[in-house]
Chains A and B, each alone.
Chain A
Amino acid sequence: MIKDDFPYFSNSKITYLDNGATTQKPQRVIDSVVKYYSEYCANTHRGSYKDGNLATLNYEDTRDFVRSFINANSSREIIFTKGVTEGINMVASSFVKENFKTVIISSLEHHSNIVPWHNLGYKKGNGLEVVRFNNNLEFDLSHFEELLKKNPGAFVSVTHVSNVFGIVHPIKKITELTHKYGGKVLIDGAQSLSRINIDVKEIDADFFVFSSHKSYGPTGVGVLYIKESNIKSFKLYQTGGAVIDRVTYDDSTFLDSPLCFEAGTQNIAGVIGFKSALEYIKSISYEVIQKHEKYLLELLHKGLGEIDDVLLYTHSNLVGGNLSFNIKDITPIDLGLLLDKQGVAVRAGHHCAMPIMEELGIDGTVRVSLGIYNDKEDIENFLAKLKRAVSILKD
């Protein structure tokens, strides 16, 4: 039982189906965080003594592990951040701002890939373009190409897997087309790292961002992958300690990437714990994860299909891990609340993706978001509790 690897499930009876928001942590991740704090807690890249060196070694070891995990060329390309939100904000401020007239996003973006652009003055029709979706919410590649033709040299920032609907975007095709028209691409892997093998060379992304906590690692840690050829043009985001080569009152000179992009003391325990999370994913294997997730999604679709008035927004074969639905004439928040009262944790609402909700003319959805440990019993329990909630809420 995979659940046995996660202490949360010994302590909680909740049927946890909100993995798109955050995942539970396996014992080995918790152990590595505790080990750092209790056995060799010291700052990294500073004091040259036993524990400081060990902390630095393990921190940098995670960087190298991440590099190999996503098949990056060099550790210089791996920057630790707080998470996807910080990663996107960094790219927006340090690379896109002033250098790109147009930013292109998909219709299925999380607010973290919309608001940073607004904040820099890219507004829809005035620097910000949104790719339309086809039936079933699929990314409209022909509209995308139209936008690229109209805006050569654009910056494209799209999610790999939609946090609301689970739609998997054709990122390989997206990067190919972007490069064909002289642009650069950022891929938001917040929802994909836990379920899809990421090979940044194969994807050929200029930037790839992800968060540790959505992939069984600690909160407050993320990674920004910067393709080597973009590092030179990437401006410093924050400055301070740990990023400098030499400082006088007149001026400062800076270290190279990655350290120049990691000002201040980092989330050392979190970074070290993240390596354990990636090792855990590797030990299970993406093949097993995907096969199991497909099986659960089929159960879910089948079960939902047996409930009257269920509104689904896409096909099960297009999605990875996240599934959104509504039930006619019932607000999603009410469903979420009554599921909560029966011990089932799902997300209900707009999922930090208000524009797509508006476009679909809905207030929100109920989202079931799967994790590595969810099983058939979880889905059956969810469906039974959903039926009870619906019977209470229907007139």
Chain B
Amino acid sequence: MINERVKKIIDDLEMFDEDIDKYEYIVDIGKNAPDLEENLKKDEFLVHGCTSKVWLIPQLIDGKLNFKADSNSVIVKGLVTILVSIFQNLYIDDILNFNNTELEKLNLTEIISPTRQNGVYHMLNKIRHYAEVYKEGV
């Protein structure tokens, strides 16, 4: 299921020839994504390693992991919203068994490079970390 989701995003992003158009699309995703309630913007949900502030909040519903996310950067919010759409409402093992290198196919430099300030790499680690924590707890 994750692969299908990734494939759909690849198809969407491949519509754009120019990088800037692709990012305009990501900005639109960020603008249209819901804002996180202020009381949920707690330090414990912050993704460390990102220059911008990114909150990623997990919730286990019927054995499946769900996420809410937000950022003070609209581009990063777009990126984290894309990531959340990939991992949303999945069983913990599906998340843990997924090979994150598959995401390189999205061809977003923010995902390929671990050093980028937007820290998608760190968001992926956080999602994985949540999955591991819940697995231990199950």
Contact = CB atoms under 8 A, between A and B. Distances in A.
Partners in one complex: yes
Interface of A: 331, 333-334, 337-338, 341-342, 349-350, 363-364, 388, 392-393, 395
B51 A337 contact: no
B24 A333 contact: no
Nearest to A350: B51
Contacts of A333: 51-52, 73, 75-76, 117-118
- Listed residue (B27, B73, B118) with the most chain A CB atoms within 10 angstroms of its CB: B73
B20 A337 contact: no
Contacts of B117: 333, 349
B72 A331 contact: yes
A324 to B, nearest CB: 16
Given A363-B52, A392-B27, 9 more contacts: A334-B27, A334-B74, A338-B20, A342-B20, A349-B51, A388-B20, A392-B20, A392-B23, A393-B74
Contacts, number: 43
17 contacts: A331-B52, A333-B51, A333-B73, A333-B76, A333-B118, A334-B73, A334-B76, A338-B27, A341-B20, A342-B20, A350-B51, A363-B72, A388-B20, A392-B20, A392-B23, A392-B27, A393-B74
B19 interface: yes
Contacts of A363: 52, 72
Contact of A395 (B24, B31, B75, B76): B31
Nearest to A385: B20
Interface of B: 19-20, 22-24, 27, 31, 51-52, 72-76, 117-118
Nearest to B31: A395
A338 B75 contact: yes
Contacts of A364: 51
The 10 A-B pairs at the shortest CB distance, nearest first, are namely: A341-B19, A331-B73, A341-B20, A334-B75, A392-B24, A341-B23, A333-B73, A333-B52, A334-B73, A349-B51
Contacts of A342: 19-20
Contacts of B72: 331, 363
Nearest to A338: B23
Contacts of A393: 27, 74
A363 B27 CA distance: 19
A388 B31 CA distance: 17
B53 to A, nearest CB: 8
Contacts of A337: 23, 75, 118
A326 to B, nearest CB: 13
A392 B24 CA distance: 6
A359 B2 CA distance: 45
Contacts of A338: 20, 23, 27, 75
A373 B18 CA distance: 27
Contacts of A388: 20
Nearest to B75: A334
A349 to B, nearest CB: 5
B69 to A, nearest CB: 16
A333 B73 CA distance: 7
B24 to A, nearest CB: 5
B71 to A, nearest CB: 9
B59 to A, nearest CB: 27
- Listed residue (A334, A342, A363) with the most chain B CB atoms within 10 angstroms of its CB: A334
B55 to A, nearest CB: 15
Contacts of A350: 51
B91 to A, nearest CB: 34
Nearest to B23: A341
Nearest to A342: B20
A22 to B, nearest CB: 16
Nearest to A391: B24
A338 to B, nearest CB: 6
A337 B76 CA distance: 10
- Listed residue (B24, B75, B118) with the most chain A CB atoms within 10 angstroms of its CB: B75
A333 B74 CA distance: 10
